Amino acid sequence: MERDQLADFLRRRREAIRPAEVGITDGPRRRTTGLRREEVAMLAGMSVDYVVRLEQGRSSQPSTQLLGALARALRLSDDERDHLFHLAGHRPPPADGAARLARAGLIRMLDLLGDTPALVMSDLGEVLAQNRAGLLLTGDHTSFSGDRRYVAYRWFTDPAARAVCPPEEQEYHARQLVADLRAAAGRRSGDPTVTGLVDRLQAASADFRRLWAEHEVAVRRADRKTFLHPRVGSLLMDCETLVTPDQGQQLLVLTPGDAEARERLELLQVLGIEEFPTGATDTPKR
């Protein structure tokens, strides 16, 4: 771990980001040219004290999870992210692991979408990043570990994961999840990450086995679904998916499907995140 170099790199990247790039208002009394340390801490989900110690070269070695959070918060490019890992004494994520870090360009798009809920997802259904509006609508989906990182795994193994979806729509969304995973498995034929996930899902869920055996294949790029939110009720949302050229990551944008959904989404923005139960809602992939 190269503490001094790591500290210098983090300071310079923090100072190079304009607050507007990450959705923070740049007021007239602001003295800092870039982000404040407390703003980096908020974006990365860590303590301000730890950010200070990192920038002063006094920290313990950060974990790969913390480095990934810092890379997202500082909007690092792939090369910058790899450099961050090297300075911290870790190997950069391999191809599959790197896909689990949202691309800097997609994170910038999240910021630009403002009050429109949006998420960055991997092709296997991991939520890699969310904007504030997306967090308010769906809950926090970036902190899961193990197989629970995958939306399909939670959907088929945890009944609470289906609570966001009306009962009459659950079969439809279950089929969509399986068909989309089947398409990903076809693109990544022989990939042990995919085959292992499918094997574990088949072992864990008879419902998944039933649908997987039907061999339906479909890549969903647009959809309409109803969200049952614990604070504002039912929201009909249109879902549009933008896919990166290598099909490894997707930007999912959610817009109100009718006037009532628009009003409830606006109410949710006013209520904010206070007392919102983390992970209280779960949404099927796209």
pLDDT tens, 220-238?
Answer: 778 889 999 988 999 999 9
Name the strand (E) or helix (H) holding 240. Answer: strand 233-243
| Residue pair 129/102 in contact by the 8 Å Cβ criterion | yes
Q: What pLDDT does residue 99 have?
A: 55
Q: What pLDDT does residue 42 have?
A: 86
Residue 37 reports pLDDT greater than 60 = yes
Per residue in 79-113, pLDDT (tens digit) is 788 899 989 998 887 655 445 678 878 888 888 88
* CA atoms in the 13 A half-sphere facing the CB of 234: 8
Domains and CATH numbers, the chain: 3-93 (1.10.260.40), 105-271 (3.30.450.180)
What's the predicted TM-score (pTM) here? 0.66
Q: With left for phi above 0 and alpha for psi between -120 and 50, is residue 141 left, alpha or beta?
A: alpha
Name the strand (E) or helix (H) holding 242. Answer: strand 233-243
